[in-house]
A = this chain, B = another copy of it.
Amino acid sequence: MRDATGPGSLSALRLANRERLLLALAGGDAVSQAELARLTGLAPATVSGLVRDLVEAGELLVRQGVANGRRSRLVERAPARQRYGIGIDLGRTHVKVVAGGDPGEVLAAAAGDLPGGPRPDTLLDVVGELAAAVRKEAGLAADQVDGVAVGVPAPVDPATGAVTETAILPALVGFPLRDEVSALLGRPVVVENDANLGALALSRRAAGGAPGAVVFVKVGSGIGAGVAVDGRLLRGDAGSAGEIGHLALDPSLSVVCRCGRRGCLETVGSAESVRTALSSALQRELGLAEVLALIGDGHPVAVHVLEDAGELLGRALGWLAMIVNPAEIALGGPLIAAGDAWLRPVRQGFRRAVLPGVAARTRVTISPLGEDTEAVGALVASLAVPVQSGH
């Protein structure tokens, strides 16, 4: 006997038959069962059994109609059901939640604070409240939400959905984030690095354009890059692909990073590093909003500090480009508000760090999705969450 689960097994053949029948109806026409048998080469009994199963599964519709001048039962594809999802973007101090539908259209959005950062003891309350709010605002019942995706500013183990790197987001290491959010919201959940989600959002936008690698770089308190190659995320063995914040960039090696090493990009190229450097230069503690206001006003000290940070970030992006050779690198995070004052030194540092052929071809831009890039990516990912039962 054949192995019931092998490639030649009956269930594999039945599955292939289903696909084959759906393929024959992909054109959108309504077709009689006799015509279906002719088109597919399947025996009439096979066709009628399959049609019965597929109508039950909601994939096909049967209606009365006319074929070859005679009234008969016609079979056609059921319209694709609209999928809905919730995307959650967890930051170091904030959380943004959006609800939306295919293909990544945001219907409602809300944001909240995470006092003390994303901690297991407070996180779920805030997320539960915001998720319920956006779902209702989007007009969705709880069971209309097909999936939820959570973005976190840390490497994520692709297998377990847990934060892996103790040096980056220690409060969440060991916390079963995926399962806890799934229990909270009663829906299937995926957890993904936030920069990866940004890359997914941009890659989705680029669909139809040339294939290749798209990089999204989130520059906040830390710095992380997401890389999508032909629409698939590059996650890496431990989920830590794209962790460029800990590349050794500062030649003076003056600042000790939270990872214990010196010279990490995030100590000299992040939004937080710009804030602390400018606070130090102006000898008073500034908030990031003040920093951005000073840059906007063209304050020469603020502009200089931003240029130093941008140039070093650009150099690291050059290294990334020499390794991954993407077609596009898009920037995100709060410094995008500084516009060209930031983009110019980033491009300058980039150009000097790469071979001429790479400099000429790689587009370095501010993300066209702006500060919503990660949340839109979470929504895109939520719509692709595998359905866990029933279908």
Binding site for B on A (CB under 8 A): 2-3, 6-8, 10, 12-13, 16-17, 19-20, 23-27, 29, 37, 39-43, 46, 155, 164-168, 212-213, 225, 227, 229, 234-244, 246-248, 251, 259, 261, 315, 319-320, 322-327, 352-358, 361-362
Q: Which residue in B10, B167, B319 is a CB contact (below 8 Å) of A356? A: B167
**Additional A-B contacts beyond A13-B23, A229-B229 (19; CB < 8 A):** A3-B27, A6-B26, A7-B23, A7-B26, A16-B23, A41-B43, A41-B46, A42-B43, A165-B356, A167-B357, A212-B236, A213-B234, A229-B234, A234-B234, A234-B324, A237-B361, A241-B323, A246-B354, A251-B251
Count of this chain's copies in the oligomeric assembly: 2
- Decide yes or no: A357 and B238 within 8 Å by CB, A7-B23, A41-B17 being known contacts: yes
Chain B residue at minimum C-beta to C-beta distance from A354: B246
In angstroms, Cα B215 to Cα A254, docked, is 32
A31 to chain B, nearest CB (A): 9
Chain B residue at minimum C-beta to C-beta distance from A324: B241
Contacts of A7 on B, CB cut-off 8 Å?
A: 23, 26-27
Whether B213 lies near A166 (C-beta < 8 A) is no
A210 to chain B, nearest CB (A): 8
Whether A240 lies near B23 (C-beta < 8 A) is no
In angstroms, Cα B168 to Cα A354, docked, is 13
Chain B residue at minimum C-beta to C-beta distance from A316: B319
Whether A323 lies near B323 (C-beta < 8 A) is yes
Whether A325 lies near B241 (C-beta < 8 A) is yes
10 contacts between A and B (CB under 8 A): A6-B26, A13-B41, A16-B16, A43-B43, A167-B357, A213-B237, A237-B325, A246-B354, A247-B322, A320-B323
Contacts of A244 on B, CB cut-off 8 Å?
A: 322-323
Whether B248 lies near A353 (C-beta < 8 A) is yes
Looking at A46, A166, A325, A326, the one whose CB has the most chain B CB atoms below 10 A away is: A325
Whether B8 lies near A26 (C-beta < 8 A) is yes
Contacts of A17 on B, CB cut-off 8 Å?
A: 20, 40-41
Chain B residue at minimum C-beta to C-beta distance from A248: B353
In angstroms, Cα B237 to Cα A17, docked, is 38
- Decide yes or no: A358 and B240 within 8 Å by CB, A43-B41, A246-B322, A320-B323 being known contacts: yes
Whether A237 lies near B326 (C-beta < 8 A) is yes
Contacts of A320 on B, CB cut-off 8 Å?
A: 323
In angstroms, Cα B244 to Cα A246, docked, is 18
Contacts of A247 on B, CB cut-off 8 Å?
A: 319, 322, 353
Looking at A155, A236, A320, the one whose CB has the most chain B CB atoms below 10 A away is: A236
Chain B residue at minimum C-beta to C-beta distance from A253: B251
Q: Which residue in B23, B237, B327, B355 is a CB contact (below 8 Å) of A246? A: B355
In angstroms, Cα B29 to Cα A238, docked, is 42
Contacts of A164 on B, CB cut-off 8 Å?
A: 357
A187 to chain B, nearest CB (A): 28
In angstroms, Cα B17 to Cα A43, docked, is 13
Whether A238 lies near B325 (C-beta < 8 A) is yes
Contacts of A24 on B, CB cut-off 8 Å?
A: 8, 13
Contacts of A12 on B, CB cut-off 8 Å?
A: 23
Q: Which residue in B236, B251, B327 is a CB contact (below 8 Å) of A324? A: B236
Whether B325 lies near A235 (C-beta < 8 A) is yes
A41 to chain B, nearest CB (A): 4
Whether B357 lies near A155 (C-beta < 8 A) is yes
In angstroms, Cα B155 to Cα A236, docked, is 23
In angstroms, Cα B26 to Cα A306, docked, is 63
Q: Which residue in B3, B43, B167 is a CB contact (below 8 Å) of A37? A: B43
A5 to chain B, nearest CB (A): 12
Q: Which residue in B166, B238, B315 is a CB contact (below 8 Å) of A248? A: B315
